[in-house]
Structures are given as structure tokens and as C-alpha cells.
Amino acid sequence: MGVVSALFVIVLSFSGLLLHYSPSLSLDNRFLSSTALLRWYAIEVPEISSSYSSNSQRASLIGDALYFNELRVPGSFNTLVGMIDTEFGYAIATENQLVLITEQGELIGILGSLVGVPSGITRIGSDLTGELILDRSSQLIVADLDALTWSASPHVDTSVQWNENSQPDARLIASIRNDYASSLLSWERLILDIHSGRLLGNLGVILVDLMAILFILVATTGIWVWSKRRS
């Protein structure tokens, strides 16, 4: 009983110390990419919901993550409606934002409602002169990224080349899904589940409860044996 309880005390103490210093160790921002652990937690990696290409470069959305080729763009995103090449790199459009990114995949900035980006964007494209056009519920808007102005477009829909949703190749899909999978299970969650016994489900919780009873028995019998020897 003493040996078994000692092993559990070591596990609980070590995991408790790690959780105590979790902010300093950034355990909530460190993730595991183990396929076996993801299966154990029944965590499923979602499929890529939308993907657009421009000049052999590609933007893809999986879950709440936006990828430029194989690079994850900082931030959380709910939609992706297109990508257009610009003089500085690329403009990736969501429903209410424009994500500006260089050809090397470096984030320049994210434009939103604070600079007048309209909401309800459904498509992004360009006309014959290279102007960036946003489709907002059948209302075409010319986007001037230098002056940050948004004005009604005189063009008709047929005169705009719209960026269309397309399927990435299998290699890119696998790379994006593997990278996204590595951000689903943090070290903090794993250590917390080890500490509480939840790593083994309900059985683990019951086991920790039994160990707590065992600790009490070992401590009680130890005090009793000590008192008998003294007497």
C-alpha cells in the first residue's frame, strides 16, 4: 500500500508543480502532435472548408485557421471568400476582413471595419485595369488599399475576374491538416488530465479517489504503528 501510494504521490506532486508553473512554462501554448493521443481524446482533424489560388499561391481555411500555402496566418478566422495578387503581395478576403500578406507569407496587416472594410463580402476579384473588386450582396465595391477607400464600382459582374474556390493538391492538404492537428491538444490539458485522472476517463477519476482513500489509510496506519512502538 505504501509503495503504490508513493508512486501516485510522485505523479500527483510532479503534475501539480507543472500546472502551478504552467503560465511561466507556456504549457497552454505548447501543443502535442501525437496521432495516438489525438485518437485517445477522440479529436478529429477537420477537412479544409475552402481554398483559393492566385499566381500559384494558395490560401486555405481549416477550422478557424487560415493558411497561406503551408504557413498558418496569425489569428482566428471564420470564413474565406478569395485571394487576389496585389503589388505588395496578396489580399485574402474573409466575410468582413482583408488580410494583407507578402509573397513570402509574412503578415502585413488585417483590415477590418475600423478602416471601412464592408461586411458581407462574398467574392473578391479584379477588373481589366487591376483594380480590386469586392462583391457584397451583388453590390460591387472598388477597394483602394493605398488610400483605404471603398467606393461603388461602375463595372458589371461579367467584367470582373472573380477568384474561384478550388481544391488544393493532396500533399498540401496533408501538410495543412498535420500542422493544424498539432494545435489541438496542449500540454496543459494533458498534464491536468493526468493530475485529475481524467486521462483514463471515469475509471481514472475513480482510481484517483481510491488513491485518496489509500493515502488516508496509509497515514492512519502509519500513525497507529508509530504510536504503538512509542508505547
Residue 23 banded pLDDT, cuts 50, 70, 90? confident
Distance CA 142, CA 200 (A): 56
DSSP 117: P
Q: What is the pTM of this model?
A: 0.75
Instruction: Please compute the mean of the pLDDT values over residues 77-102 and round it to a whole number.
Output: 94
Instruction: Please compute the mean of the pLDDT values over residues 139-168 and round it to a whole number.
Output: 86
> Are the CB atoms for 52 and 69 separated by under 8 Å?
no
For 28-74, the DSSP string reads GG-EE--HHHHHHTTPPPPPEEEEEEETTEEEEEETTEEEETTEEES
For 161-215, the DSSP string reads EE--B-PPPHHHHHHHHHHHHTTSEEHHHHHHHHHHTGGGTHHHHHHHHHHHHHH
> Are the CB atoms for 211 and 200 separated by under 8 Å?
no
The helix (H) or strand (E) run that includes residue 83 is strand 82-85
Residue 155 banded pLDDT, cuts 50, 70, 90? low
The residue written with cell numbers 475513480 in the block is 206
What pLDDT is recorded for position 157?
67
